[in-house]
Amino acid sequence: MLDKTFNPQEVESRIYQQWVQSGAFHVGRRPDADPFCIVIPPPNVTGRLHIGHALNNTLQDAVTRFQRMRGKDVLWQPGMDHAGIATQLVVERQLAAKQIKRTDMTREEFVAKIWEWKEESGGAILDQLHRLGASADWDRARFTMDEGLSRAVLKVFVTLYRQGLIKKDKRLVNWDPRLQTAVSDLEVESIEMKGNLWYLRYPVEGTDEFITVATTRPETMLGDTAVAVHPDNPKYQHLIGKQVKLPLCGRLIPIIADEHADPEKGTGAVKITPAHDFDDFEVGRRHNLPMINILTKDGKLNDNVPEKYRGLDRFVARKQIVADFEELGLFDKIEPIVHAVPHDEKTKTVVLEPYLTEQWYLNVKPLAERAIKAVEDGRTKFVPENWTGVYYNWLKNIQPWCISRQLWWGHQIPVWYDDTGNIYVAESEAEAVEQAGGKTLTRDTDVLDTWFSSALWPFSTLGWPDETAELKRFYPTNVLITGFDIIFFWVARMMMMGLHFMDDVPFHTVYIHNRVLDEKGVKMSKTKGNVIDPLELIDQFGADALRFTVCLAAGQTKDMRIGPARVEVNRNFATKLWNAARFCEMNGCDTREDFDPAKVTHTVNRWIVGETAQACLDITGALETLRFNDAASRAYHFVWDIYCDWYLEFIKPLLNGTDEGAKAEARMTAAWVRDTVLKLLHPFMPYITEELWARTVEHLTPRKTLLIEAEWPKGLELLPWDNAGALPEMRWVIDLVQGIRSIRSEMNVPPSAKIALVLKDASAETKERLDTHHSLIATLGRLSTTAVASIVPPGSAQFVIGEAVAALPLGNVIDFAKERARLEKELNKANDEIARFEAKLGNEQFVSRAPEDVLAEQREKRADAQALAARLKEAIARVTI
């Protein structure tokens, strides 16, 4: 017997172990079947399951389970990323707690500590994905620093270098002074902060004029090598070609004409610091200006500045320089501003933007051209399609990729140097020494950007550079499911590397999901206190409820709103499913292998078979096209509204009647639909469906297979389920009962009161339907009588049903005058509410100042009031005296 309630905490770990022990997650169990492969976006080894992981991995698991049930040989390839900066930070902090610095150790000792940490504490997120129900082939889990993937990384670097695509260059990079490493442009997080714009006056040499420039970083003026003005700016044309004497330094620097200077911004003149600003770097190149780096790797001023400022932290130097300008009478003014300040995404350190340093670069332009063409040719498509433009935009404007990082944790660059600086690039030190003719060599200390190894993920995880059976069978993969924020970091780079090394795209479809917001539509952040912990939601409501919630929310065109209240609603849906299964069990609705849904005869059974067939087609089509919300929504509607609320109610008279044939057919049909429902819901709600699958069988006879490996419903479109019009007939019954219930509710008809139903202008078919289902309609609508008439009785509430008018005489049940007065009072109240919201939302001052979540809430309340007003108008219109 099923328990009274479903207990996720008791069921989930047990069910998951059953799946693991059965080998259901393993690839290769169906060697003759069509292959299907999806690779997991590898979570960081330092990671903890957040709501984004829960969304992404639920969608991947839904696709995996769906394709597995369709008979495919499925590989969901899991693994983890070594997360260079994040992991190094974790271990450095642990050592710091013991008063140990990284620099107190050798590189080898520090890397050994990281591996030790990884074995003890790393990868906790994989266990958390198990709790979510992820059915990846965990025995094949890979790590970007494991031996096989490291060999792939070395081979790729060496190949690209020998092809002339990798070289060392001195360019500007974003620099983290805390970790003392280059940071990718894509890993710079711009944070809005209060700051200042300082206006500084530079004296024009040989005149009594000054030219004023504005800057948010006064300390960088020590590295200025020009002042730029627009060539067409009449205010400064007479100064072009002259020089200014740089205050505090005494250097003479030119006033140049360049369109980078905007006459409409600031003073129209801009200081040019080529070594510390990306735009200035380009100006410097155009005008062949010197590039003076004024900063050390740890963010202090170096020996290229006057002695007074050497060794000062950049922020301390900023205050000193402003004070010195004031003392010289060269400080014009200060202007408070709010501006975007670049921070390191991982350390939250204010980035030195930029820093002139020598790094390794990959020329990705020729690789990008192939990646663009692959999408243009349709070999890879984006879902939704609008993300294609974002992909094109980045690739068409791509810059050389800085692939080196000044860290100790990661793939050390396979480059060696001899005493004279000659470079040797090889896959091993022995090969490099051989190239060098036996010389003693020193290896480059830099490591590769974490995203370099991640770019190889679709083929390196399948065994490349070896020609493995898995690589041949599963590459290209079928679909990638990921967030929009890593289209540049990861998706585009996998496309480039896959095409370059495998001569084929890494995946046929890229599904991009949107952001997860809180229930009010606000972006989650720790400072706002609205971050949702998916593990807490699983503890409270169960994994199935969370999974179904994110699937329902995963529309292709808008951000998702998720929170405890929404998850609770879907916990209630799980309860509804459980109760329906208990109803079937208590009424002897057992699974029968010999049951043929095409042979049912009773109208209500033919109707539910037809509804089930249509639901299967709709859900299958939605999952095939990655419309997760449509699939989940259709399943919800079918299970709750059609199967539970209508069909199980419709068959109660049959189950309680004396016709044994009708009773048996209802039992078998109810069980068949229940089993089909469990299959349809399994990709979204695997735990409760697997539990019910095992426990709802004839005489507790074990199922032949676990639900995870059961066959997906198919062939239902061939069923002759609507030969006699069962579908429109039962939908008419539902519409009629719903109309009756709606009027009873709106008109405050007491639940105990039984009322009459009169159908006016009913066709012969409608009369026949009323006669056939009279008893059912009367029971569900709480009716005393049903009749067909040519006129509507006085004092009736009315609604249209097909060609007929349904009338409910209520004169003896309610006071129409009082009821009309009540409804009109409620309508006036609703209209007042609408007017209040309209006034608020029409107030430009309010709209410009109110946070987006407040505006969204006001719009939602207005929509609710408008819907209520519409219902009340309909109710008033129904009242006839």
State how far the Cα of 807 lies from the Cα of 605, in Å rounded to an integer: 29
Residue 451's pLDDT is: 94
- Of 182-186, 501-505, 535-539, 774-778, the poorest mean pLDDT is in 182-186
Give the pLDDT confidence of 572-584 residue by residue, as tens digits: 999 999 999 999 9
State how far the Cα of 687 lies from the Cα of 12, in Å rounded to an integer: 6
AA identity, residue 851? P
Q: Before 78, cis peptide (omega within 30)?
A: no
Phi/psi-derived region of residue 289, left when phi > 0, alpha when psi is between -120 and 50, beta in every other case: beta
Report yes or no: 204 and 213 within 8 Å, Cβ to Cβ: no
Residue 280's pLDDT is: 96
State how far the Cα of 234 lies from the Cα of 281, in Å rounded to an integer: 25
Calculate mean pLDDT across residues 148-168.
Answer: 97
Listed in sequence order, the DSSP H helices in 710-800 are: 726-746, 764-772, 774-781
Q: Is the pLDDT of residue 146 over 90?
A: yes
pLDDT tier for residue 717 given thresholds of 50, 70 and 90: low
CA 348, 349, 351, 357 dihedral sign is negative
Which position has the higher pLDDT, 209 or 815?
209
Alpha-carbon distance values, 622 to 40, 348, 555 (Å): 22, 41, 11
Which position has the higher pLDDT, 63 or 743?
63
Report yes or no: 215 and 198 within 8 Å, Cβ to Cβ: yes
**Nearest residue to 52 (alpha-carbon basis) of 423, 512, 360:** 512
Calculate mean pLDDT across residues 764-769.
Answer: 95
- Range picked from 332-346, 368-382, 687-701 for highest mean pLDDT: 368-382
Residue 696's pLDDT is: 82
What does residue 307 show for φ and ψ, rounded to 5 degrees?
Answer: -55, -30
State how far the Cα of 686 lies from the Cα of 64, in Å rounded to an integer: 12
Q: What number of residues does the chain have?
A: 881
Calculate mean pLDDT across residues 350-369.
Answer: 89
Residue 724's pLDDT is: 59
State how far the Cα of 729 lies from the Cα of 770, in Å rounded to an integer: 10
Residue 881's pLDDT is: 46
- Of 238-242, 484-488, 832-836, the poorest mean pLDDT is in 484-488
Phi/psi-derived region of residue 259, left when phi > 0, alpha when psi is between -120 and 50, beta in every other case: alpha
Residue for token digits 């969608």?
59
Q: In what order do the strands lie in the sheet with 210-215?
A: 210-215, 188-203, 331-344
Give the pLDDT confidence of 383-434 residue by residue, as tens digits: 999 999 999 999 999 999 999 999 999 999 999 999 999 999 999 999 999 9
Residues 6+ apart with CB under 8 A from 428: 154, 414
Element (H, E) at 676: helix 660-681
State how far the Cα of 688 lies from the Cα of 578, in Å rounded to an integer: 8
Give the pLDDT confidence of 28-41 residue by residue, as tens digits: 999 999 999 999 99
- Residues above pLDDT 70, as percent of the chain: 96
Q: Is the pLDDT of residue 348 over 80?
A: no
Residue 484's pLDDT is: 86
Give the pLDDT confidence of 449-508 residue by residue, as tens digits: 999 999 999 999 999 999 999 999 999 999 999 988 888 889 999 999 999 999 999 999
Residue 555's pLDDT is: 83
The number of CA neighbours under 13 Å toward the Cβ of 598 is: 6
| E strand map for 454-566 | 477-483, 507-513, 516-517, 560-561
Question: Exposure pattern of 649-685 as b/e (b: 16+ CB <10 Å)?
Answer: ebbeebbeeeeeebbebbbbbbbbbbbbbbbbbbbbb
- Of 46-50, 576-580, 671-675, 731-735, the poorest mean pLDDT is in 46-50
Q: Considering just the CA atoms, what is the radius of gyration of the chain in Å?
A: 35
Calculate mean pLDDT across residues 858-876.
Answer: 86
Q: Is the pLDDT of residue 698 over 80?
A: no
Listed in sequence order, the DSSP H helices in 519-651 are: 534-541, 543-553, 564-586, 603-624, 628-636, 648-650
Phi/psi-derived region of residue 79, left when phi > 0, alpha when psi is between -120 and 50, beta in every other case: left
State how far the Cα of 859 lies from the Cα of 847, in Å rounded to an integer: 11
Average pLDDT, the chain: 92
Residue 141's pLDDT is: 96
Calculate mean pLDDT across residues 222-226.
Answer: 97
Which position has the higher pLDDT, 65 or 843?
65
pTM above threshold 0.85? yes
State how far the Cα of 63 lies from the Cα of 683, in Å rounded to an integer: 7
State how far the Cα of 330 lies from the Cα of 201, in Å rounded to an integer: 5
Three-state secondary structure string covering 792-821? CCCCEEEEEECCEEEEEECCCCCCHHHHHH
Give the pLDDT confidence of 585-631 residue by residue, as tens digits: 999 999 988 899 989 999 999 999 999 999 999 999 999 999 999 99
